Structure 1
Amino acid sequence: MTQHTDVLDDENPAYWVKSVEKTFSILLAFSPDEPRLTITRAAAKADLSRAAARRFLLTLADLGYVRMDGSYFELTPRCLDIGASFLANLSLPQIAEPHLKDLAVKLNETASLCVLDGTDVVYLARVAAPRLLSVSVNVGTRFPAWATSMGRVLLAGLPESVREDFYASLNLQQFTHHSVSSIEQLRAEVDRAGRQGFCMVSQELDDGLRGVAVPVRRGNDLIAAINVSLQTHRVSEAEIARTVVPELQEAARAIADDFGGRRAISA
């Protein structure tokens, strides 16, 4: 069995190719906040001399990975080729799962990813908390969208005409005595979810449980929703809004970024 026996030099193994490291430091210097860089700015962000940054940028331009616009450089779509094979083998649930795991650990609550399918939400990924909740939910489980926090944030992202068609097709069922009892009440809850950017549903589907959800957006597209399920006696609604919602929003951004969200925003 072959083992690496290279001697370390400046904390890197002997096989280390500095030019590869520098190439990626230049490429990664571009960001959503700074999609266009001068040579001087690229050099500063990549921790290179101006002369070195210039050589790397001009070489990348000749190869088609960046383009010049006056004194500025910017990435080209050809950069997507680098990750295309990797991304082609990933689905949204695969991308979301590690972020849901992190979320479940941080909050000690069950975290899920759903999409809207007709009048239902469908669970695509789910990571259980160490303690089990009273509702048994697996990937592929369906619930009426109108009765769930994820369903309501997804409904809030639909065009108004589509939303109204959805309301017209509903036959509301009282799962608990907390369930919304009219389309007008549901409409108000969905509108509120759209305004505030998250949704909290307490004991409407099952007594003792509260769900809170946020949308996952790729650019302007609403692609899914994520949520955590909490027992109502553990955390108050005010505390959820203050501590849980920001964690959900951070996870949603991370999922969207890994699913191409940064590219969609800067396109």
Structure 2
Amino acid sequence: MEIESAEGNPAYYVKSVEKTFAVLLAFTADEPRLTMTRVAAKAELSRAAARRFLLTLADLGYLRTDGTHFELTPRALDVGASFLANLTLPQIAEPHLRRLAVDLNETTSLCILDGTDVVYIARVAAPRLLSVSVNVGTRFPAWATSMGRILLAGLPEAHREAYYESVELTSYTENTVASIDALRSEVDRAAERGWSLVSRELDDGLRGLAVPVRRGNDLIAALNVSLQTHRAPEDEIAATVLPRLQLAAEGIADDFGGRQRGVA
């Protein structure tokens, strides 16, 4: 049984480690440069203690200072580098997909483009569903899905045109896009709007809404939610479901290495 200190912490607890991280975590995106006084206030330390921690961290290379302000150095990334190196995009996306699935009571997925298909790399079934026929690794023709059109919209123009020249369209339902010109228009529309809604083209009972997931300027995946066709009209989906999907995409991008501010 661990013996507790007078402060209620286990006997092994090193208070200086807690204080060190309190100092490091005082630096945020909103406040990347801090004075000693500001660090002391944010870390709940005396000014003298904050000074010792700041100067030690500067000597170790984790902080730099101009004599008045302190800021993190790239070496601070070493703290989480091993953890981040072992994370994959599906692992990072799954908690976001799970929250979105619960929020919307619909199935959520993350897909990438592979040749002429989209491939599911993460998927969380709607809580109300007992089983699903689509799993991680499932492929669908990119041109017939909302996530595929988002991913096609992100391709360089030459690659997109090469795709149009190589793909063969198949009629899955009476609503399936029927020509390359029509497909080109739909992909251009997705590029312009920043999202894609495909209704009853692959399956008569389903609609798919997708948004891009970006890391900086790079399109790394498409985030999708599958919707029953009776749920709501398109304008209502755009007003209520789309913002939640976009927020989840931003969360995945941030956790996977950050999205460039100002990029939709």
Distance in 2 of aligned mates of 1:35 and 1:147: 45
TM-score, structure 1 normalization: 0.87
- Unpaired runs of 5+ residues, structure 1, are none
Matches within 5 A, 1:1-267: 3-6=1-4, 9=7, 12=9, 15-69=12-66, 71-132=68-129, 136-261=133-258
Change (3 A) 1:193 1:135: farther
Distance across 1 between alignment mates of 2:29 and 2:186: 33
Contact (CA 8 Å) 2:206, 2:226: kept in 1 or not?
yes
SS at 1:215's partner residue?
strand
Aligned length: 261
Q: TM-score, normalised by structure 2?
A: 0.88
**Alpha-carbon distance in 2 for matches of 1:98, 1:84:** 21
Q: Distance in 2 between matches of 1:134 and 1:6?
A: 48
| TM-aligned CA distance change 1:134 to 1:148, over 3 Å | farther
- Distance in 1 between residues matched to 2:198 and 2:98, nearest whole Å: 22
Q: 1:40 to 1:149 in 2, by over 3 A?
A: farther
Asked if the contact 1:176–1:207 (Cα under 8 Å) also holds between the matched residues in 2, the reply is: yes
How far residue 145 of structure 1 moved from its aligned partner, in angstroms, is 0.9
3-state DSSP of counterpart to 2:4: coil
Change (3 A) 1:124 1:39: same
Q: For the Cα contact (< 8 Å) 1:201–1:211, is it kept in 2?
A: yes
> What whole-Å deviation, never above 9, does each CA across 1:167-225 have from its counterpart, x for those lacking one?
22222222111112222222222222222222111111110101111111112221111
CA contact (8 A) 1:167 1:183 kept: yes
Gapped runs of 5+ residues in structure 2?
none
Change in CA separation of 1:85 and 1:29 when aligned onto 2, cut-off 3 Å: same
Between the two proteins, what is the percent identity of the paired residues?
Answer: 74
> How well do the aligned residues superpose, as a CA RMSD in angstroms?
2.4
DSSP 3-state at the match of 2:82: helix
Question: C-alpha displacement at 1:8, in angstroms?
Answer: 6.3
C-alpha spacing 1:81/1:177, structure 2 compared with 1 (3 Å): same
**Residue pair 1:8, 1:14 contacting (<8 A) in 2 also:** no
How far 1:143 sits from its partner (Å)? 0.6
SS at match of 2:65: strand
